[in-house]
A and B are shown apart, each in its own frame.
Chain A
Amino acid sequence: MDKLWLGVAMLVGLAAPAWADVGQVKVVKGQVSIERKGQRLPAQVGMTLESADVLRTGADGAIGIAMRDDSRLSAGPNSVFALERFEFDATTSKGRFDSQLQRGTLAVVSGRIAKQSPQDMSVRTPTAVLGVRGTEFVVAVDE
């Protein structure tokens, strides 16, 4: 009986939306590109994101993204922000989210991964590692 129940739960799970992607671009202003597997794509609202994408904004650029765990990140002009690793199980809220601001400005609202387990989310700069115990903060990395 337990096994049957598990089978049904798995079927229902499979029917859930298949977010093969890790998040979505929600806001784009000015020049913004996304580096993916050696290619540079112009960022567009609605684009899906993949783990290891690198976002680059121009002098007039800004980008806002929403991740699958409901975390939201946005970068200002002249920024380079790398999604290094994103894994998320929507049922358990467990996952791992590591990113790095290499240059520029970033605003962060953490999501379900950090709420479930704060040590599973980190934002790095070239010299520091930030641990996320609460939800909203901003980071700047000087040139």
Chain B
Amino acid sequence: MITWMRRNLFRSVTDSLLTVVSATILGIVLVQVFQFVFINGRWEIIQVNLKILLVGRFPDELMYLVGFSILAICFSIASLAGGLERAPNSIQNLPAKLWGLFQRFGLIAATAALLIVLAADFDAVAFGGYVLMSIVAGTLFGRLRRTTALKKLPGWIWVLLNASLPMVLIFITIGQAALEEWGGFLINFYLAVVSITLSFPLGVLLALSRRSSLPLLRWLSTTYIELIRGAPLFVLLLLAGVALEFFIPSSIAPDAIFRAITVFTLFTAAYLAEVIRGGLQSIPKGQAEAGKALGLSTVKITFLITLPQALRNVIPAQIGQFISLFKDTTLAGVALSVFELLNVGSAITKQDDYLGQGLIYETLAFVALLFWVGSYVMSRESQRIEKKLGVGLR
């Protein structure tokens, strides 16, 4: 212990000085944070407005749909994980496995627990229990696939089966509760997921065009990518906010969410294109040449050989792009007045009961917590995937 301290903290005089200074800074910060969170913080505003922060002005009577969607998503993810992941002779004993799971999902679980504590009613605790049950059920269901005859089902049907339940529920939710009423953290997530999914085909198209041997295509895609990459996202959102309706026939009145999704999609597609292009460049030429030797056409080579490998190689970078987009959804709140989490956080401090009391610290801390946990967990998962795939090591 002493040796460790000597080596790491007190190597020399300057070193010791640095240690003292940094320890003091860390100490002060930690004490302040502790005092803020547990002693001085007036968290009532968060507790009262928890629903608005998380789902906006979602109609109360339809909240069960959100609940069911979450349960369905947990179930599907758990069963996909249980079913696809081939665990060979698991020599890890249960405690070690649990520790591994804790490391991976501990933060999310802790945040969920915090939300339940803040909600402070029995329904929230019950819901937490339901989520746990659905995760367990999902894992068991996934195991079923590996052990029973369902093994014979091709992978994509299994995926479709699992994905269909949450999809159906999400469809129903959207149908019942108009998107204008969604808000809070839910809408940040929704914007990010929909935008990145829609931007994917466009991004692939742009990347392929930029690397194509056809000069016109290359020119078109390069112009688009460079134009978008030189433009600030905020200004694009502002432009869409006032000008999008001019570019479509006047019978459609775009609402803020539509505008946001349009801009985010077009914007992310350009960045994704660069990421995918990097991936394509990293594939050795031999792969394409082997494809040619087999007599495959260029299109087939691209879609069967090069592109899948390229996409797999840049999964971490794609996840990085998603995290970026997830954080950028806050811009939709200021540019288009979408009722997203940060916007809600600033707005609730102006409610009659809380105006002028300086509660902005508490609300911003809560908003920061949610965003931080989301981004941190996603980036850690992407690092894990990177390690698993052995990207860059081969």
Question: Do A and B originate from a single complex?
Answer: no
Binding site for A on B (CB under 8 A): none
